[in-house]
Amino acid sequence: MTMNAQNMPGRTDGRLRVGVVGCGTIALAHIPYIQKAGGDLVALADLSIRQSSELADRFGVQRVYRGAEEMFDQERLDVVHVLTPPNSHAKVAVAALDRGIATLVEKPMALDQNEVAAMAAAAKRSGAILTVDHNRLFDPPMLEARRLWESGELGDLVAIESFQAGRASDRAWLGDIAGGGLGDLVPHPLYLQLYFLGEVDELHATAFSPSGGSAPEELRVLMKGRGKTGVLTISMNTAPGMNTLKLCGTKMTVEVNLNNMTLVKRRDYKVPKIIAKPLPNLDEAWQLVRQTGQNTIDFVRGRIRYYPGMGELITRFYDAVRRGTSAPVSIEEAAAVVDVTGRIWSELAAASQTATRGVVEA
């Protein structure tokens, strides 16, 4: 394994040479941010030449490869974005990290803890930075929510609720991950949840399919952390699709709507009782009107695009690569998401076995 001097953490000069492995739909979201964050997309790799060629045509990328390792060996990359199906994240990331290439992996980071350990070990061996695309943590209202918590304005955080409704896009590899389509929806609300909840001491999960099918479509997870509880809901049948996070503190409650990119604060108002009922509603309505107006202006002026958190995460990641500082999402944070995901599916499997045994015994 080789490590180029230019790939060592700590470089502060110029633009980064970036490669992308996996030329599917999510690459369309990543690529515009690469340039913006100070990277030059020099090469793409995908097993499908149709996928890589068409993406290269669209973005004027000069070089394509069918194998990721061929690309790593030829292109002296500083950074790679691993956007392949989840079952190959670990293999591709380890190959990149072993060559000293800073690596951004799409979510979910890996299928299990063994893969996580292999990726973490490769990052440690080479000193290259590894991070995971937990992009929603960096959406503008999430950054504000994080600030409110970290500055103490929320007070002590006691309860967290993350809610995700919708259906995963139909992809060939969904069968490779635990929970299939529902499993693909787990990482986003879970990493939001765990960012605030921290370590999970207790976990209870239940899932079912309203249509009676074998694949779960509705999931609820109750978690207990240190001094906080968290509830995670994933619904494939609720309409409309929705992504929200509610943070309940001892001084303030905050609700983030990640579909509409708004954050609504609800506080105690020291006002006469007669207006204590309508005032919070008026305040919330005003917050929504103001933020919707600002978002509209920002969108029209091109200040925000789709997946704004991804842009912020990529910018922070590239800065970390240049300066040799820590990754925007640490390996430990990403590993915790894989760990808790595994615990959810184990809990569900155990519950299902108990139920089956109960039916047989009855």
Partner 1 sequence: MRAFVTGGTGFLGRRVVRRLIERGDEVLALAREGSRSEELVAAGATVVVGDLGDVGSVLDKVAECDVVYHVGARVLSHGDWDEFFRVNVEATQRLMDAAWAGKVKRFVHVSSLGIFEIDRDGLTISDTADYDRRPTLRGFYTRSKIDADRLACSAARTGKNVVVLRPGLLFGHDHPQQPVFLGRVKKFLRPDLLLVVSTPRYLLPLTYIENAADAVVLAGVTEGIDGSIINVIDNPDLTQGEYFRTLGQVRAGSLRVLYVPVALLAPAVKAVDALHRLIKRRPWAVAYQLLRSERSTRYATDVAAARLGWKPRVGLREALEESLRKSA
User: Under the rule (CB under 8 A), what is the footprint of partner 1?
Assistant: 49-50, 53, 56-58, 60, 62-66, 70, 73-74
Give least dist CB 49 to partner 1, A: 5
Task: Work out the burial of residue 11: count CB atoms within 10 Å of its CB; fewer than 13 is exposed, 13-18 middle, 19 or more buried.
Answer: middle
d(CA 243, CA 257): 6
Q: Is the CB of 60 or the CB of 213 nearer to partner 1?
A: 60
Bridge partners for 43 per DSSP: 19, 63
> Closest distance between partner 1 and the C-beta of residue 232, in Å?
39
Nearer to partner 1, 54 or 319 (CB): 54
Q: To the nearest whole angstrom, how small is the minimum distance from the Cβ of residue 28 to partner 1?
A: 14
Minimum separation from the CB atom of position 6 to partner 1 (A):
19
User: 111's torsion region: left (phi>0), alpha (psi -120 to 50) or beta?
Assistant: alpha
Give Cα 230 distance to the centre of its chain: 18
CA distance 175 to 85: 11
Of 43 and 338, nearer to partner 1 (C-beta) is 43
Nearer residue to partner 1 within complex by CB, 65 or 307: 65
Sorted by sequence, the CB contacts under 8 Å of residue 204 that are 6+ apart come out as 221, 222, 223, 347
Least CB distance to partner 1 at residue 47 (A): 11
d(CA 60, CA 53): 10
Complex with partner 1: residue 64 or 203, whichever CB lies closer: 64
